[in-house]
Structure 1
Amino acid sequence: MFRSVLLSWLCCLLPLFPLRAQIAPAAPITSSSGDSTVRRTLWQRPVSRAVLVPTLLLTAGALTTHRVEVLESDEEMREEIREHMGRPTTTLDNQLRYLPGAVTLGLGLAGVPGRHKPVDQLLLAALAFTLNDAATSNLKKLTQVQRPDGSNLHSFPSQHTSLAFASATFLHKEYGGRSIWYSLGGYGVAATTGGIRMAKDAHWLSDVLAGAGVGILSTEAAYWLYPRLMKPMRRVLGSRALVVPSYQQGAVGATAVVRL
């Protein structure tokens, strides 16, 4: 059972690692109609392709949680972990969830070219993590699933895993086109974070699978929303305006900063 679940987990993640030739920026496809020119880039790829993997992960998580339990794997996975690993006391998961995002911003500040400039990367990260926090927090309140250790009813989905995968997707989208190792490293860290959460008896397998789906969707949504939000805002406030979204204790807001 343990090996089959791990194999399924890897199969879910494999579509996240396309060949380098697939993720490198392609030459624009241009078609002319009068004076109009249409350019198709990775920035405008089909929505269905962007949401396929996270949707599969969310579905797998929903089908294995105790409220549905179509696939009975939560208890089996927990027993396998208890038998082979015990219950670690590490706090490494608290740091790992931020690592891919921190690497992304660090590379930008160090001058390594990504898909966006450092300021845009910072705003994209803020938007992605805001969406992630809002989605994960509200899903926890809605589902009320008890943690494996019985500590509370905020198990589904895993917030650590969700943030880790949002962070890894951020790294993948900014630097995956430069080298597939950025993507492999980021998603490897995110998967490790989810594994530690299960090993610590803080989450079920279903929580981790759903958390991964929410995390990826959050960053995908941020990259879709960002140009649509910034274009009208900069038209009103000027090119020196920055908008930073926020989410705290159920309240969603934004702060506009104008450099005079």
Structure 2
Amino acid sequence: MFYKTISLVFLFSFLSANAQQNDSITKIDSMSRRPLKFNYKQLIIPGVLIGYGVIGIESDQLLSFNHQIKAEVTEDIDNKITIDDFSQYAPAASVYALNAFGVKGKNNMRDRSVIFVTSYVIMASTVLGLKSLVHEERPDGSSNNSFPSGHTATAFAGAEFLWQEYKDKSIWYGIAGYAVATGTGLFRIYNNRHWLTDVAAGAGIGILSTKLAYWMNPYITRKLFKSSSESKSTSMIMPFYNGQQYGLGFVKVF
């Protein structure tokens, strides 16, 4: 049963990557000049994931499936593998790492950073808001803030960010990001920290948050930056999540 779950979650991420590859998105040199065209088809994958998670809160069938997965996982688990505490950041960090190694993405540093911060603000607000409203108990019984999975939302927000920035270079960048995000979600289940429905909802929220950030960016940058010329230094706020709390850190790039 657990292996069926792995296949299910991986299928969601694979479909997400392929659905986005087929979307016709207007190419732009700077996101602050022309907005991306809204395409409702881009809402299908995150909508299905979020819907699955929300329905699972009250659905007896999905709740039973959650417990079946938990039973199979706890049978085989010997030691927790905490790689998910770090892998959640890997897709987003890869965007900046690739740029540092000379692989240019779709946007410049300023616009990319605005998109990144916007995405994580939307994602963190949504996740923390739902956790405080739903009060779902974690599989290990440690707390009542299981729904949705913040680690998974963080990872998938970063995976979508990596996809959007580098899909025109190679689709494999995005596929790699989604593979890492999927692994993060699976480890949350394996470590008995989340139900499948938590992970599915987290994945959908993460993807949707980044999509919204790209759609909103032209309007945000027009408000934040009056001048069209790019300054020699860039300041940005970098969100972080330590497993219990979200926060912001200030970074200045010269």
TM-score interval, normalised by the smaller of the two chains: 0.7 to 0.9
What's the CA shift for 1:225? 1.0
After superposition, where does 1:1-40 map in structure 2 within 5 Å? 1-18=1-18, 22=22
Cα separation, 2, equivalents of 1:138 and 1:17: 27
State which structure, 1 or 2, has the greater radius of gyration over its C-alpha atoms: 1
Letter in 2 for 1:234: F
Residue of structure 2 equivalent to 1:60:
52
1:77 paired with 2:57, answer no
Cα separation, 2, equivalents of 1:173 and 1:26: 12
> Which residue, 170, 185, 190 being the options, matches 2:181?
190
Unaligned runs of 5+ in 1: 29-40
After superposition, where does 1:139-218 map in structure 2 within 5 Å? 139-218=130-209
Change (3 A) 1:201 1:123: same
1:154-203, Cα deviation, whole Å (9 max, x unpaired):
00000000100001110011012211211111011001111111111110
Cα separation, 2, equivalents of 1:53 and 1:86: 31
Residue of structure 2 equivalent to 1:33:
none
1:97-125, Cα deviation, whole Å (9 max, x unpaired):
00011111111233212110123222221
1:31-70, Cα deviation, whole Å (9 max, x unpaired):
xxxxxxxxxx9x62433122110000001111223x3335
Letter in 2 for 1:103: S
Unaligned runs of 5+ in 2: 29-33
Change (3 A) 1:206 1:112: same
Change (3 A) 1:24 1:44: closer
1:206-225, Cα deviation, whole Å (9 max, x unpaired):
10000001100111111111
Cα separation, 2, equivalents of 1:23 and 1:113: 21
What's the CA shift for 1:132? 1.1
- Per the normalisation by structure 1, the TM-score is 0.80
1:126 paired with 2:120, answer no
After superposition, where does 1:90-129 map in structure 2 within 5 Å? 90-129=81-120
Secondary structure of the residue aligned to 1:44 is coil
> Which residue, 43, 55, 71 being the options, matches 1:51?
43
- Per the normalisation by structure 2, the TM-score is 0.81
- Percent sequence identity is 29
Cα separation, 1, equivalents of 2:145 and 2:111: 33
Cα separation, 2, equivalents of 1:105 and 1:95: 16
Higher mean C-alpha displacement, 244-253 vs 149-158: 244-253
What's the CA shift for 1:244? 5.1
Change (3 A) 1:56 1:226: same
What's the CA shift for 1:144? 0.7
